Amino acid sequence: METHAAYKSRWLPWILLLPTFVILLVFLYYPTLETFRLSLYRVAFLGLRKTFVGLANYRELLTSPVYHQVFLNTAIYSFLVVFFSMAIGLFLSVLANQRISGRSFYRLLLIWPYALSPAVAGAIFLFLFNPQAGIVNYFLQAFFKIQPDWLGQPRLALGVLVAAAVWKNVGYNVVFYIAGLQNLPGDVLEAALIDGATPWQRFWRITFPLLSPMTFFLFVMNTIYAFFDTFPFVDLLTQGGPNGATNILIFSIYRDGFRFLKTGMAAAESVVLFVGVVLLTILQFRLGERRVHYGG
């Protein structure tokens, strides 16, 4: 078998790997394990006083209505963000992949918000949805005579957070879905065309199933985005309010850990989130290996 591993040296590969080892051990492995340990303690800030409490923090996560709401919020919020980011992304990709002039121009103008940071998007949406100065309410007043208090109503506030997160992330999905569409086997689609399938049938019976590996990959990436990268939206727009309606797990970890100084609780919540990420990763590897290949 051909191999790239042409060199042999007892110590050189380890020296080359040393920086990676040190950083990963000290700043990734150690803090991850330490998070598990901290979750079994009730800690006064900065670890000055630690009391071992066993699984008490987890018991509180399971029994307290506050945390029930956090889990529910996280589930609803993540579902909405993932669903709309991907659905809109797929729709725009199909549009931008038609045989029309200016395709690459449209593609570029559809994906650029992906380069923006969540904090920038958050600040902009904070202004857009401000009840008095915001431009959204100006249009709603002009056309429908309503002026909702966007960030004061639980459901509306969650909706604004979803809108901001989706707006920023649609471009990512467009990039991948367009790539996926361009790599589809042309002969299958042509055969369907000859057999007289309508565009609607062709999309749902052929294109969409063929895109399923891409859809699955994007599902994982969008979920990770909704879990972690959306922190700035909550922090800038709602602070978890009103009445805890937008308090999602990542914000709750921050608040417990750095404002309420309940380090142990924050660690236990982190462990829950970690389990979620591990499950997603396992799923990705499992299904990723069994990618369905159609045609040649």
Partner 1 sequence: MRRRKWLTSALVHLLLLLSVVVVAAPVVFAFIFSTQTPAEIFRYPPQFTIGSALRENYSIVWNQYHLGLYMKNSFYISVAVTVGKTIVSFLAALALVYFRFPLKGWVFTFILLTLMMPTEIMIVALFELVTNIGWSNSYAALIVPFLASATGTFLFRQQFQQIPVSLVDAARIDGAGPLRFAWSILLPMSFNVVAAMGVIQFVYMWNQYLWPLVIIRDSSKQVVQVGLRMLTSGQDATNWGIVTAGAIVALLPALVVFFLLQEQFSRGFALAEEK
Piece of the chain touching partner 1 by CB under 8 A; list 60-68, 72-80, 103-111, 145-153: 103-111
Smallest gap from Cβ 227 to partner 1, in A, equals 8
Interface with partner 1 in residues 105-144 (CB under 8 A): 106, 108-110, 112-121, 123-128, 130, 132-133, 135, 138, 142
260 near partner 1, rule: CB under 8 A: no
Residue (128 or 184) nearer to partner 1, CB? 128
Q: Among 54, 100, 194, 286, which residue interacts with partner 1 (rule: CB under 8 A)?
A: 100
96 near partner 1, rule: CB under 8 A: yes
Distance CA 163, CA 229 (A): 14
Q: Among 66, 75, 87, 95, which residue interacts with partner 1 (rule: CB under 8 A)?
A: 95
CA-based end-to-end distance of the chain: 26
Distance CA 217, CA 219 (A): 5
Amino acid of residue 247 = N
Distance CA 66, CA 25 (A): 35
Piece of the chain touching partner 1 by CB under 8 A; list 64-72, 146-154, 201-209, 228-236: 228-236
DSSP one-letter string for 13-52: HHHHHHHHHHHHIIIIIHHHHHHHHHTTEEE-GGGSSEEE
Smallest gap from Cβ 93 to partner 1, in A, equals 11
Q: Which residues pair with 52 in a beta bridge?
A: 41
Cβ atoms of residues 69 and 243 within 8 Å = no
Give the C-alpha distances (Å, rounded to integers) separating 40 from 34, 68, 90. 10, 20, 43
Torsions phi, psi of 147, nearest 5?
Answer: -135, 75
Smallest gap from Cβ 270 to partner 1, in A, equals 5
Q: Hey, is 274 helix, strand or coil?
A: helix
Residue (206 or 271) nearer to partner 1, CB? 271
Piece of the chain touching partner 1 by CB under 8 A; list 53-61, 67-75, 201-209, 272-280: 272-280
87 near partner 1, rule: CB under 8 A: no
Alpha helices in 183-262 (DSSP H): 186-194, 199-201, 208-210, 212-224, 231-233, 249-258
Q: Among 77, 150, 176, 219, which residue interacts with partner 1 (rule: CB under 8 A)?
A: 176
Q: Among 47, 152, 209, 295, which residue interacts with partner 1 (rule: CB under 8 A)?
A: 47
Smallest gap from Cβ 195 to partner 1, in A, equals 19
Q: Hey, is 243 helix, strand or coil?
A: coil
234 near partner 1, rule: CB under 8 A: no
Smallest gap from Cβ 206 to partner 1, in A, equals 19
Interface with partner 1 in residues 183-202 (CB under 8 A): none
Mask: binding to partner 1, 3-42, rule CB under 8 A, as x and -? xxxxxxxx-xxx-xx-xxxxxx-xxxxxxx-xx--x----
Smallest gap from Cβ 187 to partner 1, in A, equals 22
Q: Which residues pair with 43 in a beta bridge?
A: 50
Half-sphere exposure of 126 (CA within 13 A, CB side): 14
